[in-house]
Amino acid sequence: MIGPVGVMPEELPEAHKRFFSKPIEAKIDRDTQRQQVRDLVRPLASRAFRRRATDAEMDGLVALFDFAREKGETVERSMQITTSAILVSPSFLFRIEKDAPSGKTRTVSDVEMASRLSYFLWSSLPDDELFRAGVKGELHTDKQLIEQALRMLKDPKSKALVENFAGQWLQLRNLDTFFPDKERFPDYDDALKSAMRRETEEFFSYLVREDRSVLEFLDADYTFVNERLAKHYGLQGVSGEEFRRVSVDPAQRGGLLGQASILSVTSNPTRTSPVKRGKWILENLFASPPPPPPPNVPELAVENKEKPLTGTLRQQMEQHRSDPSCAACHQLMDPLGFGLENYNAVGAWRTDDGLHPVDPSGELPDGRSFKGPAELKTILKGREEEFRRCFAEKMLTYAIGRGLEHYDACAVQRISRECAENGNRFSVIVTEIVLSPAFRQRESP
């Protein structure tokens, strides 16, 4: 007996049924068969290429089918080979747009706009509605673009925006390479790491889904936890693996700076890093990164070996930055990081570091002072215009897939202004990006 026995027919995916619903007949004349192949393959090639497949491209695919048949392959195998050719084509693997004439710009076509929208908001191909709109030339007016962008934000596929943009902007991907010391943090494991990332993604998703104010990234009276993360935070009344929205004590949590994912990726394996945390705030919340450190300046741990520093971590850092070449930058970063010292290296709340009481107070270069994370957040919320501009810059960079240039400054200013005038809603940032010249036009190489 030759098996397998009793195997039920495989249930074909919906995409297979849609594209290959009409089988190619094997026993027909060659010209009729070629036309059947052309009619069947063109929709698939057009979707894969994110534009209508040209006649020349179709001629090549049909010729490949013919070649396979001439070599004795079955109709089904010949179609597999033809489909493989589509999937290895540069038109599928790369987003190809026609260059603008030298020294000029051009408005992208409606078909190109469909791809720009889909990869910005979904990180994937246009769906049927967006693809049809591009083919019909219905993706160039402000109204058309806004309607599609808002529709796409409401689609579950917009989860990709959260995962990919947040992964880049907030550096959540660095969680994968963060391995805190097991002796100092024995409760840290993969389940907690996953919950940390999920909290931030759920928080971001909620802002997108409910079209909340982007200023809630700076401070919010809620977050999202499951039982594992709630225990890590010392929150009561949360059980099970399901994430749910909970209220938080504004003196301890609220906004990105109270989330363990952010606090972990800005720490060292054995201790917190006020420098990393302060640098993260400057770079990712206010788009004002400090200059690189001068050459040959040792890390704090290295300096400890060569020239022992004494006292608490804060006192050691103050000794470390006594060098004038270090002080200029550290006076910008360190106070911000000190304001988060109530959180340990994995984001749990603490009042001491095991040896000394922590001091979360600080004074900024402009003279404003604070006594802990809550007061620090109040100061940061007062810089909402800087944050809006930073958020607009980060998301515009993500949307267009290139670094911003000086000529993009007006677009960033408009995006930030419109956001402020419309309740700081997340959707306004997105729609203004979609309407911006940077998103609608292509520069010459």
Give the pLDDT confidence score for residue 17 in this predicted structure: 61
Residue pair 52/46 in contact (Cβ under 8 Å)? The answer is yes
Tally Cβ neighbours within 10 Å of residue 382: 12
Residue pair 384/377 in contact (Cβ under 8 Å)? The answer is no
Measure the CA–CA gap between 318 and 300, rounded to whole angstroms. 11
Would you call the peptide bond into 4 cis, given omega within 30 degrees of 0 as the criterion? Answer: yes
Per DSSP bridges, beta strands 441-443 and 369-370 are unpaired
443 phi and psi angles, rounded to 5 deg: -85, 160
Burial class, 187, CB count within 10 angstroms (exposed 0-12 / middle 13-18 / buried 19+): exposed
The tokens of 11 are what? 């249930």
Handedness of CA 272, 274, 276, 282 (dihedral sign): positive
Show pLDDT as tens, one digit a residue, over the chain (445 residues).
Answer: 444 444 445 565 676 666 665 666 667 788 888 999 999 999 999 999 999 999 999 999 999 999 999 999 988 889 999 999 999 999 999 988 888 788 788 999 999 999 999 999 999 999 999 999 999 999 999 999 999 999 999 999 999 999 999 999 999 999 999 999 999 999 999 999 999 999 999 999 999 999 999 999 999 999 999 999 999 999 999 999 999 999 999 999 999 999 999 999 999 999 999 999 999 999 999 999 988 876 666 665 544 555 555 567 777 767 656 666 666 677 889 999 999 999 999 999 999 988 889 999 999 989 999 999 999 999 999 999 999 999 999 999 999 999 999 999 999 999 999 999 999 999 999 999 999 999 999 987 7
Q: What is residue 106's three-state secondary structure?
A: strand
Measure the CA–CA gap between 195 and 197, rounded to whole angstroms. 5
Measure the CA–CA gap between 196 and 203, rounded to whole angstroms. 11
Domain boundaries, the chain: 14-92, 100-137+384-445, 155-265, 273-382
Measure the CA–CA gap between 178 and 119, rounded to whole angstroms. 29
Name the region of 59 (left: φ>0; alpha: ψ -120 to 50; beta: rest). alpha
The tokens of 246 are what? 């909970």
Give the pLDDT confidence score for residue 19 in this predicted structure: 60
Query: Amino acid identity of 167?
Result: G
The tokens of 70 are what? 């001439």
Measure the CA–CA gap between 245 and 223, rounded to whole angstroms. 6
Give the pLDDT confidence score for residue 98 in this predicted structure: 85
pTM of the model: 0.87
Residue pair 133/110 in contact (Cβ under 8 Å)? The answer is yes
Give the pLDDT confidence score for residue 1 in this predicted structure: 41
Measure the CA–CA gap between 182 and 420, rounded to whole angstroms. 45
Handedness of CA 24, 30, 35, 41 (dihedral sign): positive
Cβ neighbours for 365, distance < 8 A, ≥ 6 positions apart: 331, 332, 335
7 phi and psi angles, rounded to 5 deg: -85, 125
Burial class, 344, CB count within 10 angstroms (exposed 0-12 / middle 13-18 / buried 19+): buried
Give the pLDDT confidence score for residue 3 in this predicted structure: 45
DSSP state of 40: H
Dmax over CA atoms of the chain, in Å, equals 89
Give the pLDDT confidence score for residue 76 in this predicted structure: 85
